[in-house]
């Protein structure tokens, strides 16, 4: 299982410096969220020109304000600029943003994503599409030399979104989906859908709170604090109810290692740990040490560099509030 990280930083120079540090530390991928700051695809283009080797991904770009042909053109261009290292994570965001901020309809998000992927997928793999849907239609080409193919992952939580991820995308990105749900629902649902659609084994990227500690209850409280008001959004609230608590890997070193191994056996291909231990604490030291060990265990062909260094340069927990991976609560 590969180990990635969320990207932190507020300026291009700071982000480039941080991603270079992630690469030296051995992370195989770095993921940028889509919030109120810099546009993520453009930012990754700048980062990729400055930092080699490490995979760059969006977690996730929101679909409603972007027609899929425009999204495809943007993604293909960025992929050409970064030498084919882009993975495009997309999601429909949430009703408050779509309706309240953008003034757009959030009606039937599953239909929206199904039609969106029906346009986006052919464009980023074959360069052309002809599709008429209820919400999205597209007829034409997007041809960027050196830009394709671009892997597409879907931000997915509930069963219907997971089925779409397996059937029409290359896999899924999950957030606020805990280890129990990943094993019991997420992985089997995506794999079954991909198999029925005769698609390749799907990629599953799991963003998870992460803490090595003896005080599990304190780490659970910390993870709930990090989730904050996002946990009130219907899709996330449903995911947390399904899990029976916060989306968190926690416990002693052996217990955390066992949970990570269970995710790998279930089909999680990429773990993006979000440390929730307080900086300077003993738990923070133990968490950083185990992350270093996990990075060192990755297959040599997937590792960006060694020895491991700079594990402390993890995203602050507040970064998680910008993550827009969207699922269906039904």
**Length of the chain as a residue count:** 330
Write out the two tokens for 169.
């995308």
DSSP three-state, residue 316:
coil
Write out the two tokens for 293.
């060990």
pLDDT (tens, 9 = 90+) of the chain, 330 residues, equals: 999 999 999 999 999 999 999 999 999 999 999 877 899 999 999 999 999 999 999 998 988 788 999 999 999 999 999 999 999 999 886 555 655 565 666 677 889 899 999 999 999 999 999 999 998 999 999 999 999 899 999 999 889 999 999 999 999 999 889 999 999 999 999 999 999 999 999 999 999 999 999 999 999 999 988 777 777 677 777 888 888 989 999 999 999 999 999 999 999 999 999 999 999 999 999 999 999 999 988 765 444 433 333 344 344 434 333 343 344 433
Dist. CA 225–CA 220, nearest whole Å? 9
Selection from 215, 104, 84, 206 nearest residue 144 by Cα: 84
What pLDDT is attached to residue 305? 38
- Degrees, nearest 5: CA angle 307-87-264: 60
Dist. CA 240–CA 229, nearest whole Å? 13
User: How many CA atoms are closer than 13 Å to the CA of 174, on its beta-carbon side?
Assistant: 35
What pLDDT is attached to residue 324? 39
CATH of domain 2-322: 3.20.20.30
Answer yes or no: are the C-beta atoms of 201 and 194 closer than 8 Å. yes
Dist. CA 234–CA 79, nearest whole Å? 33
Site of tokens 């996002």: 230
Q: What are phi and psi of 74, to 5 degrees?
A: -65, -50
Site of tokens 């191994």: 261
Residue spans of the domains in the chain: they are 2-322
Q: What are phi and psi of 311, to 5 degrees?
A: -65, -25
């Amino acid at each position: 299982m590969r180990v990635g990280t969320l990207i932190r930083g507020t300026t291009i120079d700071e982000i480039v410096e941080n991603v270079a540090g992630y690469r030296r530390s051995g992370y195989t991928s770095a993921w940028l969220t889509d919030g109120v700051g810099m546009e993520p695809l453009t930012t990754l283009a700048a980062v990729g020109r400055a930092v080699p080797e490490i995979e760059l991904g969006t977690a996730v770009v929101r679909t409603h304000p972007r027609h899929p042909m425009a999204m495809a053109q943007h993604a293909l261009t960025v992929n050409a600029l970064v030498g084919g290292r882009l993975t495009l994570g997309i999601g429909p965001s949430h009703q408050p943003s779509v309706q309240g901020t953008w003034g757009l309809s959030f009606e039937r998000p599953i239909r929206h994503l199904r039609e969106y992927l029906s346009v986006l997928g052919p464009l980023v793999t074959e360069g052309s599409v002809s599709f008429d849907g209820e919400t999205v239609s597209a007829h034409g080409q997007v041809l960027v030399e050196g830009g394709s193919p671009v892997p597409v992952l879907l931000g997915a939580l509930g069963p219907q979104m997971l089925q779409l991820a397996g059937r029409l995308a290359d896999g899924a990105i999950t957030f606020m989906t805990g280890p129990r749900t990943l094993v019991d629902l997420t992985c089997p649902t995506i794999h079954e859908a991909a198999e029925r659609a005769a698609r390749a084994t799907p990629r599953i990227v799991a963003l998870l709170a992460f803490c090595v500690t003896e005080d599990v209850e304190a780490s659970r409280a910390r993870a709930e604090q990090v989730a904050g008001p996002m946990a009130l959004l219907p899709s996330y609230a449903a995911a947390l109810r399904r899990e029976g608590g916060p989306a968190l890997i926690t416990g002693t070193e052996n217990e955390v290692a066992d949970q990570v191994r269970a995710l790998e056996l279930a089909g999680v291909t990429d773990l993006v740990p979000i440390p929730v231990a307080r900086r300077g604490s003993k738990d923070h030291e133990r968490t950083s040490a185990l992350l270093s060990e996990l990075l060192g265990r990755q297959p040599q062909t997937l590792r960006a560099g060694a020895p491991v260094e700079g594990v402390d340069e993890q995203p602050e927990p507040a970064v998680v509030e910008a993550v827009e991976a969207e699922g269906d609560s039904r």
